[in-house]
Amino acid sequence: MSEHSADLDPRRAGPGDAETVARLLHDFNTEFDTPTPGTAILTRRLQSLLAEPSTIAYLAGRPAAGVALVTLRSNVWYDGPVALLDELYVAPDRRGDGLGTAMIHLLIADAEEQGISAIEINVDAEDVDAQRFYERHGFNGVDPDTGERAFYYSLEL
Segment 18-25 mean pLDDT: 98
What integer pLDDT is reported at residue 6 of this predicted model?
53
What integer pLDDT is reported at residue 4 of this predicted model?
47
Q: What is the Cα–Cα distance from 36 to 25, expressed in whole angstroms?
A: 8
Helix axes 39-49, 18-31, angle to 10 degrees: 130
How far CA 131 is from CA of 33, 76, 134, 139, in Å, comes to 20, 27, 5, 9
Residue partners of 80: CB distance under 8 A and separation at least 6 = 114, 115, 116, 117
- Quick one: pLDDT band at residue 2, thresholds 50, 70, 90? very low
Written as one letter, the residue type at 88 is L
34 or 147, higher pLDDT: 34
Q: Is the pLDDT of residue 3 over 70?
A: no
Q: What is the Cα–Cα distance from 73 to 15, expressed in whole angstroms?
A: 20
Domains of the chain by residue range: 11-121
Segment 76-88 mean pLDDT: 96
Segment 35-40 mean pLDDT: 97
Query: Is residue 13 within 8 Å of 20, Cβ to Cβ?
Result: yes
Predicted model pTM: 0.91
What CATH superfamily is the domain 11-121? Answer: Gcn5-related N-acetyltransferase (GNAT) (3.40.630.30)
